[in-house]
Structure 1
Amino acid sequence: MRLLIQTALSLLLVAALVLPAAAADAKLKALIVEGQNNHGNWPQTTKMMKSYLEKSGLFTVDVATTAPKGTDPSFKPEFKKYDVVVSNYNGAEWPEETKTAFIDYVKGGGGLVIVHAANNSFGNWREYNEMIGIGGWGGRNEKSGPYVYLDAAGKLVRDTSPGSGGHHGPQHPFQIIVRDGDHPITRGLPREWMHMNDELYDKLRGPGENMQVLATAFADPKKGGSGRHEPMLMTLEYGKGKIFHTPMGHGNDSQECVGFITTLQRGTEWAATGKVTVPVPDDFPTADKTSQRKFEAK
């Protein structure tokens, strides 16, 4: 009997040591890329997004950081080790070897998430622009592809008129309108909800192929906007890879929006797996009221 008890205790001890490691291995592996950005708060937003993904219970998160200026020849993340890459990067070109590895990663089925100014990057990198669909600044113009937006009737417009890509008025809260409530990322969200103070990117342009607009925001001319319904949540496919793209998330307060947090978690899970299990929280914003969770850095 004593031997049986000792054996049982030994098995329990082994299980206690093995199960946490097994649980960690079962989680999705995410990589945030950062290091250069025209937004000075990028170190904070990386920490915020890392925390949000980890708190979902679905992800372990690593961070890969480039040199602070110029092309970093040592920046060679092992993308293939990860289920999804989240870009918080807007800076110099990556080494050609890294760009090739990144293309192969996404085309081969890796997930990608583009947040805010990450769509400003790499204006002349054809494959990257195909991955993100539309972007702004970075020398983008009519040669980059059409402006993509929705008209007043909710119809997708591909506007080939000349002009630079990328614009926004002063920061302000704005309403998000869900255009496809059947997609896993938006399923269960209110059709309309208020986003926290943010830059409302408009006049984004690019190839816009294999792209589905899930939600938009009206860029009010009275607030310096384009007068168009601009894409705010998008999904794309590139080869076997899935991409979730949101132009939201400029400031710390923008990323404290429960709508931003929830769609980041759900969009990242979808990019990694094609499915969404993250629930819509009770404190999700409503059609006329924002919802904020103050971030407390550890």
Structure 2
Amino acid sequence: MKHWFLALAVGFGSLTPAAMAASKIHVLILDGESAAPYHNWAAETPVLKQELEETGLFDVEVLTIQKDGDFSQFHPAWSKYQAVVLNYDAPDERWSSEVKSSFEQYMKNGGGLVTIHAADNAFPDWVAFNEMTGIGGWRGRTEKAGPHWVYKDSKLVADDKPGRAGSHGLRLPFQLTVRDANHPITKGLPKQWMHQGDEMYANMRGPGKMTVLATAYSDPENHGTGFDEPMLMVSQFGKGRIFHSTLGHDVMAISSEDYVVTFQRGVEWVATGKVTQPVPASFPTANSVSYRTDLAAKDPHYSKGLNPMDGPPPMRPAPQPTPQK
């Protein structure tokens, strides 16, 4: 049977439900699909919800729409929310033109969008969505989607060489560098910090039109491009604000303290245009990783350490000599 469902998750304190709802920022996390099983949205979403709710600023609903669902009944009331978080990656045909148009209108009217990691892989031919995210990868994207954008000589530069969009190396820790220290999301963060082991996206292509908040060097020794690649970005679509984070391959990655902080601040900024949250003392430094063990323990592979796909490649067995008769 085809299905789709809405899961409501709101935490209440001492205030009445009505007062609580009126005082908090209303957020929708949308999940339910990814191009591959290694993007485990079902494991990530509860952690994302916890990260938002623990600030006391947000009430959060989760809308799960799986690819075999009845999309004839999928008509989200976007205007109920000050921010929509996409932990979601689907092909162009998944949403009807009416749903896409309604989301475009929501953003033009001043909505807020946050895209996480593989969400920027979604909807390769939806022009407005690619304008919102600025860059994306995979799902058949090539130079036709736009140039490969890199950060060079203190500015965003278009690399017009042809090629496929999207690449990453092994899931290792890497250093981020702030490129816009005055933006509310990055204001007060250290100039550089280390991020927990994650897929570092590179070779991302699109129309651009974004402001880069932070980059990371894509090391050729880890299958990288040799460029400083955009990691955290913001953009505008009509009156709407977008925060685009390429970080967050799995629960281990989103447990990194820098991820938690930039995600919380990014959602507040797209919803309100400002950030009121202080930078915690536990924020990582230029030389040390800092992550939340309480969140990392929720990863299904936590006890195994790194994702098995990031281990050393298997050795091809040596050919066996032909037995002599």
> If the length of structure 1 is used for normalisation, what is the TM-score?
0.90
1:30 aligns with 2:36: no
Structure 1 residues 70 and 226: CA distance shift in structure 2, 3 A: farther
Give SS of 2:46's match.
helix
Of 116-125 and 142-151, more deviation after overlay is shown by: 142-151
Please tell me whether the aligned partners of residues 175 and 218 of structure 1 are also in contact (alpha carbons under 8 angstroms). Answer: yes
Matches within 5 A, 1:1-298: 21-37=18-34, 38=36, 39-69=38-68, 72-92=71-91, 93-151=94-152, 153-209=153-209, 211-294=210-293, 295=295
Cα distance, 1:61 vs structure 2: 0.5
Structure 1 residues 17 and 203: CA distance shift in structure 2, 3 A: closer
Please tell me whether the aligned partners of residues 39 and 249 of structure 2 are also in contact (alpha carbons under 8 angstroms). Answer: no
Distance 2:102 2:57 in 1: 25
Of 251-260 and 288-297, more deviation after overlay is shown by: 288-297
Cα distance, 1:19 vs structure 2: 5.1
- Say how many residue pairs are matched: 280
The amino acid that maps onto 1:208 is: G
Distance 2:69 2:206 in 1: 25
Instruction: Write out per-residue CA displacement over residues 99-120 of structure 1, whole angstroms, 9 at most, x where no aligned residue.
Output: 1111111111000001000000
Cα distance, 1:186 vs structure 2: 0.3
Instruction: Write out per-residue CA displacement over residues 34-63 of structure 1, whole angstroms, 9 at most, x where no aligned residue.
Output: 110123421111111111011111100001
Give SS of 2:71's match.
coil
Please tell me whether the aligned partners of residues 71 and 95 of structure 1 are also in contact (alpha carbons under 8 angstroms). Answer: no
The amino acid that maps onto 1:159 is: D
Distance 1:73 1:202 in 2: 36
Distance 1:175 1:71 in 2: 43
Structure 1 residues 262 and 17: CA distance shift in structure 2, 3 A: closer
Task: Identify unmatched segments of 5+ residues in structure 2.
Answer: 1-12, 299-325
> What percentage of residue pairs aligned between the two structures are identical?
49
Please tell me whether the aligned partners of residues 136 and 166 of structure 2 are also in contact (alpha carbons under 8 angstroms). Answer: yes
Cα distance, 1:143 vs structure 2: 1.2
Instruction: Write out per-residue CA displacement over residues 154-211 of structure 1, whole angstroms, 9 at most, x where no aligned residue.
Output: 33211222111111111100000001111100000000000000000001010112x1
Give SS of 1:73's match.
helix
Please tell me whether the aligned partners of residues 71 and 94 of structure 1 are also in contact (alpha carbons under 8 angstroms). Answer: no
Please tell me whether the aligned partners of residues 75 and 95 of structure 1 are also in contact (alpha carbons under 8 angstroms). Answer: no
The amino acid that maps onto 1:163 is: G
Give SS of 2:280's match.
coil
Please tell me whether the aligned partners of residues 36 and 66 of structure 1 are also in contact (alpha carbons under 8 angstroms). Answer: yes
Give SS of 2:164's match.
coil
Give SS of 2:19's match.
helix
The amino acid that maps onto 1:109 is: G
User: What CA RMSD, in Å, does the superposition of the two structures yield over aligned residues?
Assistant: 1.6
Structure 1 residues 233 and 40: CA distance shift in structure 2, 3 A: closer
Task: Identify unmatched segments of 5+ residues in structure 1.
Answer: 1-15
Distance 1:137 1:32 in 2: 23
The amino acid that maps onto 1:115 is: I
The amino acid that maps onto 1:122 is: F
Structure 1 residues 86 and 265: CA distance shift in structure 2, 3 A: same
Distance 1:204 1:167 in 2: 8
